[in-house]
């Protein structure tokens, strides 16, 4: 779990508490602030999940570039190949 997901969960919980406190005290401004904070938390949590999914996809993928390089020397050319291509 990354920091975006943790911060998102914190904002969701804190927003829910604010919203509920606003309902109990009949404070519309506090209710709206709580709903906004909850929405921010959900968005941040979703962003964190997306980042984790991309990281997992990258970590699970092996990238292999076929690099064939010709080295020139004064005496004779030599070829170097990727060890996986042999």
Q: How confident is the model at residue 58 (pLDDT cuts 50, 70, 90)?
A: confident
Q: Would you say residue 79 has pLDDT above 60?
A: no
Which helix (H) or strand (E) covers residue 69, if one does?
A: strand 69-71
Is the confidence at residue 75, as pLDDT, over 90?
no
For the chain, the average pLDDT equals 82
What average pLDDT does range 9-31 have in this prediction? Answer: 97
Q: What is the pLDDT of residue 66?
A: 59
By percentage, how much of the chain surpasses pLDDT 90?
58
Strand partners, 70: 79
């Amino acid at each position: 779990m990354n920091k975006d997901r943790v911060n998102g969960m914190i904002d969701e919980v804190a927003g829910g508490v604010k919203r509920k406190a606003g309902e109990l005290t009949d404070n519309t401004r506090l209710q709206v602030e709580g709903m906004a904070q909850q929405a921010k938390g959900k968005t941040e949590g979703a962003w964190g999940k997306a980042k984790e999914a991309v990281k997992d996809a990258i970590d699970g993928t092996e990238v292999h570039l076929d690099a064939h390089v010709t080295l020139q020397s004064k005496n004779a050319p030599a070829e170097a190949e990727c060890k996986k291509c042999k």
